[in-house]
Structure 1
Amino acid sequence: MRWTIKPKPEEEKIKALATQLGVDGLVAQLLLQRGITTFEEAKDFFRPQLSHLHDPFLMKDMEVAVARIEVAVAKGENILVYGDYDVDGTTSVALVSSYLETYYPNVATYIPDRYTEGYGVSFQGVDFAEDNGFTLIIALDCGVKAIDKVAYAKQKGIDFIICDHHRPGKELPDAIAVLDPKRDDCSYPYDELCGCGVGFKLIQALGSKRGQTIEDLVPYLDLVATAIGADIVPITGENRILAYWGLRVINTNPRTGFKAIIDQINKSELTITDVVFVIAPRINAAGRMEHGQHAVNLLREENLEKAQVFAKEIEVYNTDRRNLDQEIAKEALLQILENKEEEGFTSVVYKETWHKGVIGIVASRLIETYYRPTLVFTKSGDKLAASARSIKGFDVYEALEGCADTIEQFGGHKYAAGLTLLEENYEAFKAKFEEVVSKNIDRKLLSPEIMVDTVIALDDINPKLMRIIKQFAPFGPGNFAPVFMADNLNDAGYAKVVGQDGKHLKCRLSDAARGRNGFSLEAIGFNLGDKLPNVVQKGFSAVFSLDENEWQGNITLQLKLKDIK
């Protein structure tokens, strides 16, 4: 791994902010590195206010969207709330449909089948709407590029309102309204909302017309916070406010479906990390293993006993998904070794029986071992389908464009994409992809980078610092948890490997070599078991974040190791 220490702000700025806030220089430095330079900005950062959410009518087409829904309600039209099968899509559908149903009954939901319909708006979905008498479709987390499907619906007398957050193409669909802050002609002040965030702006606008305040809509923010975490959008600006208050709902008064999931995992207070790694995979598992509608049913359910039944079903899907992706990842790693492809610039693997619902997760798992652009293929009908994942700093979508002559279809973005090709073109694609990547990748990108906020001594770390850093949360892109480096460390004599197959490292670190009276701290390094030889030597360096370990009711400060040299 490459360790990159962030530039330190000017000393005068650190002192000035520290004085304004009554904090020490270290905290002031961390805030300045996050773009916070004044007392007011710090206040907004530590205490996000719902009153600072933007007016939803600043979004292009919002007035039109609200007016069309009001007409539908007045005329008694049937409304179909349509969304993708991933977390962002299913939470969006649960959000908008459950809100509309608080005052209007003619609402139904639709999630496309991952395997028969694929991503986004489908012709099959439009046919379903026609067959069942729906005259308005609200599409969430998809639709901004569905020009042909929206035109097809229009021929059938079905109107579309699109709520999306993906970048539009050169042409927009001929919908009644296209709500997307990434539209070039949209002047909405924040363009990093997730799909569920755009859906929330729609119900915020609808609510304002009905005399509701933002406080009336807070119960829906558990869904928005979950989508923000799962979709890995920046936790800055408006997203930070939505995530902060959404987490508060999850931890104090979650909807029944979330309560049914949380009851199974036995954790007192959930962070955004728990949402990403505990709640989101369970919601996602429904669409991967069975059907995304199962997730919507759970998120909309108000009866706890029924929700618990749904949650148990989804737990089974998640267990099956986890077992399957681990099994396929082992087979894929073996394939790389058997083909002697460890030394290349890419990983491309294929087996016709691999489950299409987990190949994206498998691609991410392979990157943990071989850090390079990766594709995992499986058979899909009479073609091969793949999920592509990339590494920080390398645009895999652009690389796929360089292989377009071997591909049938592809789509996605810089770090994740999907594609299909004819089986006879697989070997040609594999060779071409390796060639394109090897020509265009900066070699240093093949070592993962750790961004370090600052170098500190171990005895700078104390419960007060931990309490302040916890208030930096929720963490995510644009506001990752602070990462520190300490050097000239010793193990206090307790280093050992723990966990299955000795995968993890547990130790107690001391900077006694600096003559600091033997001050030491517990440390855990997940998947760093192979670093044990480094720890038993004297005078090593470590990169870590601060963490709390809860054991038998006791909470202690510990270092969460990221790397050791």
Structure 2
Amino acid sequence: MLRSKAKWNYVQSDEHAMPIDDSLSALTNQLLRQRGIHTKEAADYFLSPKLNHLHDPMLIHDMDKAVSRVKEAITNEERILVFGDYDADGVSSTALLIETLRELGAVVDYYIPNRFTEGYGPNEQAFHKASEAGISLIITVDTGIAAHHEALVAKELGIDLIITDHHEIQETLPAAYAVVHPKCSPSYPFQELAGVGVAFKFAHALLGDLPKHLLDLVVIGTIADLVPLHGENRVLAYYGLQALTRSLRPGIQELKKVCSLEGTMTEEDIGFAIGPRLNAVGRLQDASPAVELMLTEDNDEAAMLANQIHELNQERQQIVADIAKEAEAMLEAEGDILPSVIVVAKEGWNQGVLGIVASRLVGKYDRPAIVLSIDSENNTAKGSARSIDAFDLFTNCMEVRDLFTHFGGHAQAAGMTLPLNHVDIVREELSAKADAQLAPEDFAQVLNIDQTLEIQSITLEAIDDVNKLAPFGMGNPKPLFALEKETPSEIRQIGSKLNHLKVKLSADGKEMDAVGFGLGDVYTRIAPKSRLTIVGELSINEWNGRKKPQLMMKDLQVDEWQLFDYRGNRHLQKTVQDVPKDNTLALYHHPVPREEEWMFGTFDVLEVVEDEMADDLPLEEVDHLLIMDLPPSLERLSTLLHKLAPKNIYACYRTDDAAFLKTVPTREHFKWFYGMLMKRKQFHLQNEGPKLAAHKGWSVDAVEFITNVFFELEFVRIENGLVTLHDNPSKKDLSESTLYQSKHDYLTVEQTLYFSSYRQLRAWLEEQFNQGAHPKEEVINEP
């Protein structure tokens, strides 16, 4: 058995429901129903977004005031400053609004704070510099909703402040000239816009017409910032990806080149290539090059900036890997039991990448994570947090808001600064809240499975049907499908570090590959011929012009017990190093040999050297059972298997002196030997035994065994090696000899457990699980 890493939730669907639209496939109809779409009108709205589905920007709070003030500033040739943020959403927002204002003839510049010297959001020092530069109007994009102090500073300086933002609103709104924010706009129908979405609506209001030429910018921040892709966001993403595909902006064209992107752009191209590179700039330095890349009209400058950004992203990747490794080492040092909310802090960690590190920790440890960089001079800690689906980070942190100097964010992500002596308190308080709110199963990542498929049904046409629901993202996740109990024809690790998994599946002559990035570690935990249930996304693998379906695995499990065949292995210590240590038992039927005493420091060890022990031991079920040597009988092992009910069995035994390969006396052997004694009256075992063995083609051990069985049954006497017949031998069957029976028991053990094929061994073990303890033994080679 192999447990899934995530919690699987099969989405309920009425397969017999009437189709929403007869022109759509059954699969598309079902996926639409699972997304809450039940009418043809709603399906058309979802599958065929229209730009006229976008709402009137003037419905947003304070939009009229903001537009009037900007037009007044343009008329009066006032200097305007766009104050942005350093992530992909903030960068695209800044570029979009700058281009809009320049188009309107404004005197405008932009400012993005340095993450390391100024921190997040508007700050007093920057506003003073703006005032000194003659700025009379500041417009924030993707930031500012928590800038209460800075709004008052702007007033004191005689600067009008327009805040455009989308982050969570706190207790009160800043005292700004205007606050353009969907979430404080009761009359605005959609409240989930990204920062760049709000900037786009502002541009629409300023220009008077829908700014289609800005769609290639709005899609970047919308997808990179992980806002829900429904409603207006779906429209902006749908048309934005088309605009991005054909964009003539030199910066976007050069960015595509360094990302090796060609053809039709997808949400994954932004999420995994464009977005991370734009984010990398502000994570490591001043984010201005990312804005300049979006705005430049010079091809050479665009190429230079794109390559600079690409190199910064490579540097960012290495920094993330180094910090994540350090953080994981700190957590491992704390022992097996981690707090329900992870909080790690260290001096010298780059603040710009801590959100990514937090995401990695959430993925590895399945719990919320806060990662902080310590400033020892100021006795503060600053960093980022990421959460699991079941724990609202924003709400819970707001309940202990007094512990933070600065705090802001969403349900799943946040940034904060706090006094150094509050770090442990935050860990304790948030862990206590998580313990009170969550059950153990809530910590696991949840995979919502849309449908179970058969391999034969996975076609290029079916994948095209699924892709009608694109673009995918938050609020419209890419559908997940399950393939149940498939027996792979091949499983192997791939990648330079063997950290990925490739599974080849086949059914009725059709083959399909399933690839799982980052799943290479489960390779050693899948036994041959195990039936896998795989969860993943449908995709198309295109190679040399040929297209074929494939499944991108997200998780997998084995629902049945597994047999790992390590019989005869002479390098066992190395072989079993990948066997999980939790709830694992190494079983011995004889005292542990000296050369295997290392087992005591590796697994729990159980020695069952008597049959009575197997019956009397109060054993509990185990996940992993290592059978280290052969039992004296199948009955004993069957009893233990029934009690332990292992989910995985590792056959680790070997024999250097196999009875099965030697001459084993049959009844005819015994009959002949007894007749020989009746004729000769006596036989000297030491002197004549080897000659008899050579004459008959038996082994010397076989001759001694026959003699000892007759002695036990009182058929013969043995004195000083001389064997003679009893005058009055008892009337007993050979099976009444303990020696004879144990020999044949062990022969049966060897044939069943050691010299059997993998399939035969698995079948015998399966039988024990099915019938319980004390099976009737099969006697092999009965004389």
Q: Normalising by structure 2, what TM-score? A: 0.67
1:548 aligned residue (540, 543, 547):
540
Kindly indicate whether residue 224 of structure 2 is the aligned counterpart of residue 230 of structure 1.
yes
Check 1:102–1:405 CA distance in 2 against 1; reply closer, same or farther (3 A cut).
closer
Superposed, 1:376-455 pairs within 5 Å as 376-380=371-375, 381-382=377-378, 383-401=380-398, 407-455=404-452
Look up the SS of the partner of 1:236 in the other structure. Answer: coil
Any idea what the Cα deviations from partners look like across 1:70-120, whole Å, max 9, x if unmatched?
A: 111111111111111111111111001011112314110111111222111
Query: Partner of 1:506: helix, strand, or coil?
Result: strand
Q: In structure 1, which of residues 16, 20, 27 is the aligned counterpart of residue 19 of structure 2?
A: 16
Q: Which runs of 5+ in 1 are unaligned?
A: none
Letter in 1 for 2:69: R
The alpha-carbon deviation at position 235 of structure 1 amounts to 0.4
Is 1:315 equivalent to 2:301 in the alignment? no
Stretch moving more, 59-68 or 419-428? 419-428
Provide closer, same or farther for how the CA distance between residues 21 and 128 of structure 1 changes in structure 2, counting only shifts above 3 A: farther
Which position in structure 2 is the counterpart of 1:88? Answer: 89
The worse-fitting range, judged by mean Cα deviation, of 333-342 and 455-464 is 333-342
CA distance in 2, matches of 1:44, 1:536: 48
**3-state SS of 1:101 partner:** helix
1:345 is paired with a residue whose SS is coil
Q: Which residue of 2 aligns with 1:68?
A: 69
CA deviations 1:184-231 (Å, max 9, x no partner) are x531111111111011111111111xxxx43xx222111111111111
Larger Rg: 2
Alignment RMSD (CA, Å): 1.9
| Partner SS state of residue 182, structure 2 | coil
Could you give the per-residue CA deviations for residues 285-324 of structure 1, whole angstroms, max 9, x where no partner exists? 1111011122111111111110111111111211111100
**Counterpart position of 1:534:** 526
Distance in structure 2 (CA, Å) of the matches to 1:536 and 1:267: 39
The aligned counterpart of 1:118 is: 119
* Aligned mates of 1:559, 1:498 — CA distance in 2: 15
Residues in 2 aligned to 1:253 and 1:498: alpha-carbon distance in whole angstroms: 36
**Displacement after TM superposition at 1:401 (Å):** 4.8
Closer, same or farther: CA 188–356 of 1 in aligned 2, 3 Å = same
Aligned-partner Cα distance in 2 for 1:100–1:148:
27
Amino acid at match of 2:319: L
CA 1:426 to 1:297, structure 2 compared with 1: closer, same or farther past 3 Å?
A: same
Task: Specify whether residues 259 and 485 from structure 1 end up closer, same or farther in structure 2 by C-alpha distance, changes over 3 A only.
Answer: same
When structure 1 is superposed on structure 2, of 217-226 and 162-171 the one drifting more is 162-171
User: Residues 81 and 345 from structure 1, CA distance in 2 versus in 1: closer, same or farther, beyond 3 angstroms?
Assistant: same
Q: 1:335 to 1:527 in 2, by over 3 A?
A: same
Change (3 A) 1:431 1:205: closer
- Residue 487 of structure 2 aligns to a residue whose secondary structure is strand
Any conservation in 1 of the 2:27–2:465 contact (CA below 8 Å)?
Answer: no
Q: Write the distance in 1 (CA, Å) between the matches of 2:417 and 2:69.
A: 38
Give the match for residue 493 of structure 2: 497
Residue of structure 2 equivalent to 1:200? 200
2:453 is aligned with 1:456? yes
Which position in structure 1 is the counterpart of 2:324? 329
Q: Which amino acid aligns with 1:523?
A: A
Change (3 A) 1:73 1:546: same
- Within 5 Å, which residues of 2 pair with 1:135-534? 135-183=136-184, 185-208=185-208, 213-214=209-210, 217-268=211-262, 269-380=264-375, 381-382=377-378, 383-401=380-398, 407-492=404-489, 494-510=490-506, 512=507, 517-532=508-523, 533-534=525-526
Distance 2:427 2:170 in 1: 28
Corresponding letter in the other structure for 1:26: L
SS at match of 2:384: strand
Give a deviation string over 1:24-51, Cα, whole Å, max 9, x none: 3222111111222222222222221112
Q: Please give the secondary structure, in 2, of the residue aligned with 1:54.
A: coil
Letter in 2 for 1:238: E
- Structure 1 pair 538–418 and aligned structure 2 pair: CA distance change class (3 A): same
What is the aligned residue count? 548
- 2:7 paired residue number: 2
Structure-2 change in CA distance of 1:402 and 1:96 (3 Å): closer
- Counterpart of 1:469 in structure 2: which amino acid? V
Equivalent pair of 1:145/1:173 in contact (CA under 8 Å): yes
Q: CA contact under 8 A between 2:144 and 2:164: conserved in structure 1? A: yes
The 2-side partners of 1:408 and 1:125 are apart by 19
Cα distance between partner residues in 2 of 1:452 and 1:371: 19
SS of residue matched to 1:138: strand
Deviation at 1:420, TM superposition (A): 2.7
Q: Distance in 2 between matches of 1:468 and 1:433?
A: 44
- Residue 418 of structure 1 deviates from its aligned partner by 2.5
Letter of the aligned partner of 2:519 in structure 1? L
- For 1:433 and 1:481, how far apart are their aligned partners in 2? 32
Alignment of 1:561 onto 2:566: no
Gaps of 5+ in 2: 1-5, 558-783
Amino acid at match of 1:445: D
Secondary structure at the counterpart of residue 258 of structure 1: helix
**In the TM superposition, what is the alpha-carbon distance from 1:425 to its structure 2 partner?**
4.1
Q: Secondary structure of the residue that 2:38 maps to in structure 1?
A: coil
In the alignment, the residues of structure 2 paired with residue 60 and residue 420 of structure 1 have an alpha-carbon distance, to the nearest angstrom, of 30
Inter-CA distance 132–470: structure 2 relative to 1 (3 Å threshold): same
Shift of 1:527: 1.0
Q: Is the Cα contact below 8 Å between 1:91 and 1:196 reproduced in 2? A: yes
Work out the CA distance in 2 between the residues paired with 1:374 and 1:167.
Answer: 20
Contact 1:336 1:342 in 2 (8 A): no
- Of structures 1 and 2, the one with the larger relative CO (CA 8 A, separation 6+) is 1
Deviation at 1:555, TM superposition (A): 2.9
Preserved CA contact (<8 Å) 2:32 2:38: yes
Please give the secondary structure, in 2, of the residue aligned with 1:11. Answer: coil
Alignment-mate amino acid for residue 204 of structure 2: Q
Taking a change above 3 Å as real, the CA distance of residues 525 and 135 of structure 1, as seen in their structure-2 partners, is: same
- The residue aligned with 1:42 is 43
Q: Distance in 1 between matches of 2:429 and 2:189?
A: 41
User: Contact (CA 8 Å) 1:260, 1:307: kept in 2 or not?
Assistant: yes
Identity %, equivalent residues: 37
Q: TM-score, normalised by structure 1?
A: 0.93
- Please name the residue that 2:746 is paired with: none
- Paired residues of 1:222 and 1:254 also in contact (CA < 8 A): no
State the shift of 1:417 in Å. Answer: 2.0
In the alignment, the residues of structure 1 paired with residue 142 and residue 398 of structure 2 have an alpha-carbon distance, to the nearest angstrom, of 24
- Cα separation, 2, equivalents of 1:561 and 1:452: 12
Q: Quick one: structure 1 residues 172 and 426, their matched pair in 2 at CA, closer, same or farther if it must change by over 3 Å?
A: closer
